[in-house]
Amino acid sequence: MQHIPDNEFDRLFKDRLMDAEVQPSEALWEHIAPQIVPKKKKRYAGLYWSAAATVLIAVSAGLLFKPQERIALHAPTVSTAVKPSSEQPVQVESQLDAVEETMNGSVTAATVKAGNDQALAKSQSEMTGARLMATENNSSAMQPNDEESHHHSVAAVQEPALALIQTQPAASNDAIVADQNDVAAEDPIASVALDEPAERTQESRPRIRNAGDLVNFVVDKIDKREQKFLEFRTDEDESSSLVAINIGPIKINQRKNNK
């Protein structure tokens, strides 16, 4: 076989090697898979940029609005309550609407409790005491599972409000407004205590499907107004778009325009 022709020699190799198989290492695909360039690269890049931009806006706006909220939380002092500042009538009115809503719902619950111990709602010193209680209960009401403490705090907050209305039955229209303003001033505590647990249960339901949902969720936590400083419209198909901005002088609301 020493003088085997070249083409025959080649053929012997070809026949044995052409359809040969060698099993590759197990992990090799794991190295290949991440290196296959995804088709929709552009879209991902845009999504990350918009997410980064919205987070930046959310944080800066959050810092901007922070001082306002703090003032509101410390607002309920007796002097300001009796003499409401006439400088901000628009703001007071808008707050009144919100307060009346929360009042209607909770007054019935409160009167049941209050009926048992009416003596509590007589003097102003007791009122401040109740308010202290309210703030204490408020902190415990932050835990959404603790439903009992939630009920307590509702009752405690509403009692002083009722007391004011009861102790001044013969007041004029202006006086009633003053009363309501008092309640309005207490609004932050009352509404926080009332809204917080209810919101928790509601917000756990809508799923966070995309960056827009996430931003809406965070913004909702920071900004309690109806027109948020930033709002996204989110669809089922994982896309989201900016619909509303409300940062002081800059106000854009696509939804409003569409109506």
Partner 1 sequence: MTQTYTLLELLDGCKAGNRKMQEMLYKQTASKMLAVCMRYAKDRMEAEDSLQLGYIKIFQKIMEYRGEGSFEGWMRRIMVNTAIESYRRNIRAMNVVPIDDAYEQPATGFDFNRLGMQDLMKLIQNLADGYRLVFNMYAIEGYSHKEISELLGISEGASKSQLSRARAILKQEIIKMEGINYATYTG
Residues of this chain that interact with partner 1 (CB under 8 A) are 1-2, 6, 9-10, 12-14, 16-25, 28-29, 31-33, 35-39
Quick one: 3 or 259, whose CB is closer to partner 1? 3
Q: Which of 159, 168, 165, 96 is nearest to 132 (CA)?
A: 159
Quote the least distance from Cβ 3 to partner 1, whole Å. 9
Q: How does strand 240-247 pair with strand 250-253?
A: antiparallel
Quick one: 20 or 90, whose CB is closer to partner 1? 20
Quote the least distance from Cβ 208 to partner 1, whole Å. 25
| Tokens representing residue 169 in the block | 């039955």
Quick one: 30 or 226, whose CB is closer to partner 1? 30
Quote the least distance from Cβ 211 to partner 1, whole Å. 23
| Tokens representing residue 51 in the block | 């997410």
Quote the least distance from Cβ 45 to partner 1, whole Å. 17
Quick one: 12 or 64, whose CB is closer to partner 1? 12
If phi > 0 it is left, if psi is from -120 to 50 it is alpha, else beta; for residue 248 that is: left
Q: Which of 207, 184, 193 is nearest to 82 (CA)?
A: 184
Q: Which of 168, 148, 138 is nearest to 76 (CA)?
A: 138
